[in-house]
Structure 1
Amino acid sequence: MPKNKTHKGTAKRIRVTGSGKLVREHTNNQHKFEVKSSSRKRRVKGSEVLSPADAPRMKKLLGL
């Protein structure tokens, strides 16, 4: 039986916290900030815990 490979695209976007939760960054937070409102920029700042419905699929892609 071969080993499972980590899905590298997922590994670059999602990280695992110490308690085992999956965390992702908000979208629309890379470039072109001059056309985005201040409130929108504040809203997309930081990270967010992944939805419980998506977590099992992402854990499988990460090899957890």
Structure 2
Amino acid sequence: MPKMKTKSSAKKRFKLTGSGKIKRKHAYKSHILTKKSKKRKLKLTHTGLVHKADENSVLQQLTLK
């Protein structure tokens, strides 16, 4: 049977932490930044974690589950 391939898009967007959680970047930080406040843009800069409800689908895309 052939090897399972990972989704290239998921591979680029998600990273695993040491404790097994999944890191992600925030959306809405690429363009139309003039109308967004400095505080809002700063919060979008920092990484977040994938919600528990979505973890299984992300792990499946990364073929880790």
TM-score tier, shorter chain, comes to 0.7 to 0.9
Structure 1 residue 39: deviation in Å? 1.8
Alignment-derived partner of residue 15 in structure 1: 15
What's the % identity of the aligned pairs? Answer: 36
* Residues 12-51 of structure 1 aligned to structure 2 (within 5 Å): 12-51=12-51
| Structure 1 stretch displaced more, 25-34 or 4-13 | 25-34
**What CA distance in whole angstroms lies between the structure 2 residues aligned with 1:41 and 1:26?**
10
Number of aligned residue pairs: 64
Indicate the RMSD between aligned Cα atoms, in angstroms: 1.2
Q: Name the TM-score, length of structure 2 as normaliser.
A: 0.85
Q: Residue deviations 1:13-56, cap 9 Å, x none?
A: 11111111101000012234333211211221211110011001
Q: Which runs of 5+ in 2 are unaligned?
A: none
Higher strand residue share: 1
Alignment-derived partner of residue 62 in structure 2: 62
Q: Per the alignment, in what secondary structure is the counterpart of residue 52 of structure 2?
A: coil
